Amino acid sequence: MNLLKELNEKKEWLRKLATLLARPAGATELYRLADAVRRKHTGDEVHVRGIIEFSNHCSKNCLYCGIRRASRAQKRYCMSADEIVTTATRATEFGYGTVVLQSGEPAPYEINELCAIVSRIKSETDLAVTLSCGVYSPGEYKNLARAGCDRYLLRFETSNPDLYKKLHPESSLKNRLQALQHIREAGLQVGSGFMIGLPGATLEDLARDLLLASRLNLDMIGCGPFLRSPETPLAGGNRALLHEELYFKIMALLRLLNPFAHIPATTAFDSLTGQGRDLVLQRGGNVFMPNLTPTRYRKQYQLYPDKPCVDEEADRCAGCVKARLKSLGRPLASGPGHSLIPS
């Protein structure tokens, strides 16, 4: 929380950033700069991380999310350990360097079972393993690291504690930030980020989101547009709340503030606008995260509407990514793509 206090004291910065965001002109120049900074510090290679959405069970009720506990819209599933490991090995087949295992919070596996899944992937492949399954205790993060887990993703979602409370009635921003600290202390590479355009967030909140993401000295920063999900308390009204350009300006500023971070072109950008992920790669992004989840589960993991790739097979996405990178003139990175943050 001291961190938030510190950021709120940077009033001049927040105001300047908010003004920059509000200004309609200058986006093209910002994109050009972000692309140049990305090239200089992370190179032209794009790291490809396959996401396995291994379960849509969730004990949380985040107001924005399509698979929140109260949602009756989707049938709940949980992939077996064998199925997760077999799916992960497909990443190697496609030339990806990392698998990201994501689920609702918490994962419907005991921590020792989760550790066993990670160990199996690590012993059967050369892949880096990232987990994204919510808040655990410091000891549990340490166990995951011991099992071979390389990285952990946990978005802070918004830097406004009151808005956080409204959107997550059962938790607090303080706990979320504490968990990020525990992840780091466990020796895992840390990823976090926020949603752009949450209802109730002001430009100053977005400016603080940018500063918080930067201040946390993250190895990876994943942000994406908020999209209204049907059958959630935030359904209805315009689907995207901000001017389209603003989403990309945030991504460009993220790159300028974090020259060495891995910044993915997240899936939700394709739902926001056609080829949105390609645009992010040209405006600061250096990571692409294709879906590896077996097709029969994909429709049941719709956190937001119009999610791309729900009818595609994993090999179709693999071919698509390669074609997209080729058309952007960007090579597929080899190797696991670990943190580039200088220590």
Q: What is the dihedral of CA 334, 339, 340, 341, to 10 degrees?
A: 180
CB of 307 to ligand 5AD, least distance (A): 9
Nearer to ligand FES by Cβ, of 102 and 258: the residue is 102
- Decide which of ligand 5AD, ligand SF4, ligand FES, none touches 285; Cβ closer than 5 to 8 Å per partner kind: none
Can you tell me which of 97, 104, 285, 294 binds ligand SF4, judged by CB under 6 A?
A: 104
Nearer to ligand 5AD by Cβ, of 82 and 231: the residue is 231
Q: 100 - beta bridge partners?
A: 51, 130
> Is 224 one of the binding residues for ligand 5AD (CB under 6 A)?
yes
> Is 307 one of the binding residues for ligand SF4 (CB under 6 A)?
no
CB of 157 to ligand 5AD, least distance (A): 5
- Decide which of ligand FES, ligand SF4, ligand 5AD, none touches 290; Cβ closer than 5 to 8 Å per partner kind: ligand FES
> Is 269 one of the binding residues for ligand 5AD (CB under 6 A)?
no
> Is 78 one of the binding residues for ligand SF4 (CB under 6 A)?
no
CB of 266 to ligand 5AD, least distance (A): 8
Can you tell me which of 68, 249, 262, 324 binds ligand SF4, judged by CB under 6 A?
A: 68
- Decide which of ligand SF4, ligand FES, ligand 5AD, none touches 309; Cβ closer than 5 to 8 Å per partner kind: ligand FES
Q: Which residue has the tokens 């989707």?
A: 74
- Secondary structure in 3-state letters for the chain: CHHHHHHHHCHHHHHHHHHHHHCCCCHHHHHHHHHHHHHHHHCCCEEEEEEEEEECCCCCCCCCCCCCCCCCCCCCCECCHHHHHHHHHHHHHHCCCEEEEEECCCCCCCHHHHHHHHHHHHHHCCCEEEEECCCCCHHHHHHHHHCCCCEEECCCECCCHHHHHHHCCCCCHHHHHHHHHHHHHCCCEEEECEEECCCCCCHHHHHHHHHHHHHCCCCEECCEECCCCCCCCCCCCCCCCCCHHHHHHHHHHHHHHCCCCECEECCHHHHHCCCHHHHHHCCCCCEECCECCCHHHHCCCCCCCCCCCCCCCHHHHHHHHHHHHHHHCCCECCCCCCCCCCC
- Decide which of ligand SF4, ligand FES, ligand 5AD, none touches 268; Cβ closer than 5 to 8 Å per partner kind: ligand 5AD
Could you give the CA distance from residue 149 to residue 287 in angstroms, rounded to a whole number? 19
Total residues at interface with ligand FES (CB under 6 A): 8
Q: Kindly write out the interface string for residues 281-320 of this chain, putting x where it contacts ligand FES by CB under 6 A and - elsewhere.
A: ---------xx-----------------x--x---xx--x
- β-pairing, 195-196 vs 220-221, is unpaired
Residues within window 122-141 making contact with ligand SF4, judged by CB under 6 A: 134
Under 8 Å between Cβ of 79 and 55: yes
> Is 195 one of the binding residues for ligand 5AD (CB under 6 A)?
yes
Can you tell me which of 304, 318, 330, 333 binds ligand 5AD, judged by CB under 6 A?
A: 304
> Is 67 one of the binding residues for ligand SF4 (CB under 6 A)?
yes
Interface stretch with ligand SF4, choices 22-30, 56-64, 139-147, 323-331 (CB under 6 A):
56-64
Could you give the CA distance from residue 203 to residue 196 in angstroms, rounded to a whole number? 10
Under 8 Å between Cβ of 54 and 78: yes
Interface stretch with ligand SF4, choices 64-72, 138-146, 173-181, 290-298 (CB under 6 A):
64-72
The encoded tokens of residue 319 equal 């071919």
Contacts to ligand FES by CB under 6 A? 290-291, 309, 312, 316-317, 320-321
Contacts to ligand 5AD by CB under 6 A? 64-65, 155, 157, 195, 224, 226-227, 229, 268, 303-304
Contacts to ligand SF4 by CB under 6 A? 58, 60, 62, 65, 67-68, 104-105, 134, 303
